[in-house]
Amino acid sequence: MSEQTYIRSRWFEDIPVGEFHVFGSHTFSEKEIIEFGRKYAPDPYHTDPSAAFDTPYRGLIASGWHVAAVWMKMMVQYMERFATGVQDGRRNGAGVGVRDMLWLKEVRPGHTLTFTYEIIEKPEKVVRDKWGIIRSRNEAFNQNNERVFSFEIDILAERNPDGL
Amino acid sequence: MPKTFQTIEAGQTLETPAIEISEQDILEFAAEFDPQPYHLDRAAADASIFGGLCASGWQVCAVMMRLLSDSFRNADIALLGVQGVPEMRWKIPVFAGDQLTGRIEIIATESDSKRADAGRVRCKIDVRNQKDQSVMLLTSDVLVPFNEQVAR
């Protein structure tokens, strides 16, 4: 099997800066936008298609946090295809924090987002004697290839004990 | 009429209601958005970095949004969503039964949000559990309309 087969169980040291993935696409339905909105962002532009027309958004839009949650869903689906081996199959994945998250364009029912990430940095910091930090830039593009969402996230990756 | 951008001042604070996260809430969110063992399976979670079944960090973000939306509504401030999050950190896991509240402090206002209809209100938001521990800390740029006519 290729090295990429074990993408999720790689050590910190084995994850290269510059690695780029197009990792999933998702089409947002009206139903799921409303369900998420009712639970977590109960403002009319997320919950009520007709009331949404009377807001500046002129129609229903997905909550930004719904877009972020779908980013996670796509990431897990993509990683699961390559996870194997160690304990629960993971040496990396727990999130530490996020920077520069921006919602650039509305996501409406029927819109399809495609998600990408690139490893941009491996800060020199050891967390709890065991973990390194992998920083990636993540973006989502709609069906017209417009960038609608972007952010950087730091995740923990286990350092190879032979290298410490 | 709801309050508009012009009435918002740096230094204002908002208290939020409390929301309890049940095990069922954690499992449902994880099944749809974050199906990893530490959010889905008690035994796997106990052996994981988190030390127990805990909510997806993105669920904590979603609950934070609910706290933000409810507190703006309670304060009668119009809200057109969140434009961005300059910085956010997950500090400790959220476990089943935790009750989350938020402390929202308005730290700056900026009329030039690149939108004609709304200004940007930068909030520092500290999401805390029932033990008064900070579980998530973020700054968030919230959009508040200039005109009450669009403030619905």
Q: What is the complex's ipTM, to 2 decimals?
A: 0.94
Question: Does B41 have pLDDT greater than 90?
Answer: no
pLDDT of residue A3: 41
> Domain total for chain A?
1
Distance CA A160, CA A162 (A): 5
Q: Please, what sign has the CA dihedral across residues B47, B51, B55, B57? A: negative
Burial class (CB in 10 A: 0-12, 13-18, 19+), B41: middle
Interval A66-79: pLDDT, tens: 999 999 999 988 88
Give the CATH number for residue A68.
3.10.129.10
pLDDT of residue B9: 94
- Mean predicted confidence (pLDDT) in A121-143: 93
pLDDT of residue B1: 79
> Quick one: chain A helix, strand, coil %, rounded to 5?
30, 35, 35
Q: Output the pTM of the full model.
A: 0.93
- Mean predicted confidence (pLDDT) in A47-60: 95
> First-to-last CA distance in chain B?
9
H-helix segments, chain B: 23-33, 37-40, 42-46, 57-74
Residue ranges of E strands in A104-144: 112-121, 131-141
The whole-chain average pLDDT of chain A stands at 88
pLDDT of residue A83: 55
Helix axes B23-33, B57-74, angle to 10 degrees: 110
- Nearest by CB to B33, from A64, A72, A96: name it: A72
- Mean predicted confidence (pLDDT) in B93-110: 96
CB pairs under 8 A between A and B: 108
CATH number assigned to the domain with residue range B5-150, chosen from the 4 options 3.40.640.10, 3.60.21.10, 3.40.50.1100, 3.10.129.10: 3.10.129.10
| pLDDT confidence tier of residue A87, bands split at 50, 70 and 90 | very low
pLDDT of residue A30: 98
Per the CB < 8 A criterion, the answer to whether B121 and B55 are in contact is no
- Nearest by CB to A44, from B34, B47, B152: name it: B152
| pLDDT confidence tier of residue A10, bands split at 50, 70 and 90 | confident
- Nearest by CB to B36, from A70, A76, A100: name it: A76
B31-70 residues touching A, CB cutoff 8 A: 32-38, 44, 47-50, 56-59, 61-63, 65-66, 69-70
Contacts of A102 in chain B (CB under 8 A): 83-84
Of the candidates B136, B7, B150, B6, the one whose C-alpha atom is nearest the C-alpha of residue B79 is: B150
Tokens, residue B16: 């939020």
Amino acid, res. A97: G
Contacts of A93 in chain B (CB under 8 A): 36
Q: What is Dmax (Cα atoms) for chain A?
A: 61
Q: Which domain holds residue A92?
A: 3-163
Interval B17-39: pLDDT, tens: 999 999 999 999 999 999 888 88
Helix axes A30-40, B57-74, angle to 10 degrees: 70
User: Hey, of B4, B33, B147, B149, which one would you mutate to test binding to chain A, going by the most A CBs within 10 A of its CB?
Assistant: B33
